[in-house]
Amino acid sequence: MPDQNPRQRAWVEVSPAAIKANAGALCQHLTPGAELMAVVKADGYGHGAVTVANAALDGGATSLGVATLQEGLELRHSGLKAPILLLSNLCDPEELRTCLEWQLMPTLSSLGDAKLCHALAEDSGRRFKVQLKIDTGMSRLGCALDDGAETTQAIQRLKNLVLEGIYSHLACADDRNMTVTQQQQQRFQSVLEALPQRGHGLCRHLANSAGTLLEPNLHYDMVRVGLALYGHSPASHLSDVVPLRSALAVRAKVTLIREIQAGTGVSYGHQYISPHARRLAVVAIGYADGVVRALSGQIDALHCDKRLPQVGAITMDQLLIDATDAPDLHPGSIVTLLGRDQNVEITPQNWSDRCQSIPWEILCGFKHRLPRVEV
């Protein structure tokens, strides 16, 4: 069987150096004493969770955040020893027992969650590290605000549990209007102030990427950073706060060049009818790889600093670009769909603006049939 070339068709390039540099820049931005949790859920936002975790820890992160048990186990199986917080709720005793065995910290949203974890720990003869989430305005996971202080102290009395942290999540930190964010912080603070010594001794954390860039007083003991770690600002007004480098590029090869005449329909549905004779390049990537079909006719590909417009409907495995102004483009040439090509860059925000999405969804959308190549 021939060797599998990861650059045979289309691929995602990931720069661990950029991740490390972003982690370092974010750490320098934090208030003294605050630590950085690298959020590497969803396979490190499509970059590769193990790659990102190692690079972020090298850059100064002290802990890792994931969404699922399997994501946490992947990191442990790779040999990573750093603290890992599961940001989603687990309710199955076997899954929680696995967390205990592999030293993964589950998120608790109630005293009932805590008692289940305590019983499992008691049976095993070990102590179970956990964290408590408070709902301050997301209306998603977390203990009810009015029960926050009482639940915190009740958990601390359970001898087989170690309450490592207390946290909440901001809903609107990327909004220029800070009303909701300030309200959430006040609610979180009210829980802390109802605790002995205002919760000192617990790791208190509230800020996501936007909160981290927005206000130093949101940093507390730790921040949980996802999007910014990968080199992207969560909002335009926060883009210059910390120097960040994009860590991902999507590239693909041209497989065919063809000439068409004026009036020729292109791709499914003939959404594009060529107004003039054109030179088209077929590129080996499509919506099954994560290039959203809703972007048809709205994006460019880069080649030697030239922007070449994509034309016609994006199909499952292929798309077409107008190469009329790129006579040096030929079968085997590489084009960049996302990321930097020499001096020009296409960002996830560029794509998300055109298909009513968000950069997070764009980055998480690249399928695993696209090999990840570290550069």
List, by residue number, the catalytic residues.
41, 268
How many distinct helices (H) and strands (E) make up the chain? 11, 19
CA distance 280 to 278: 6
The amino acid present at 202, given as its one-letter code, is L
CA distance 134 to 131: 10
Beta-bridge mates of residue 130: 163
**Would you say 262 and 275 are in contact if contact means Cβ atoms under 8 Å apart?**
yes
**Which tokens belong to 285?**
């990537």
**Would you say 333 and 319 are in contact if contact means Cβ atoms under 8 Å apart?**
no
1 burial class (0-12, 13-18, 19+ CB within 10 angstroms)?
A: exposed
Beta-bridge mates of residue 345: 340
Name the DSSP class of 194: T
CA distance 166 to 150: 13
Q: What is residue 104's three-state secondary structure?
A: coil
**Would you say 253 and 9 are in contact if contact means Cβ atoms under 8 Å apart?**
yes
Q: At residue 198, what are phi and psi to the nearest 5 degrees?
A: 55, 35
CA distance 265 to 254: 20
Q: At residue 246, what are phi and psi to the nearest 5 degrees?
A: -60, 135
**Which tokens belong to 115?**
């008692």
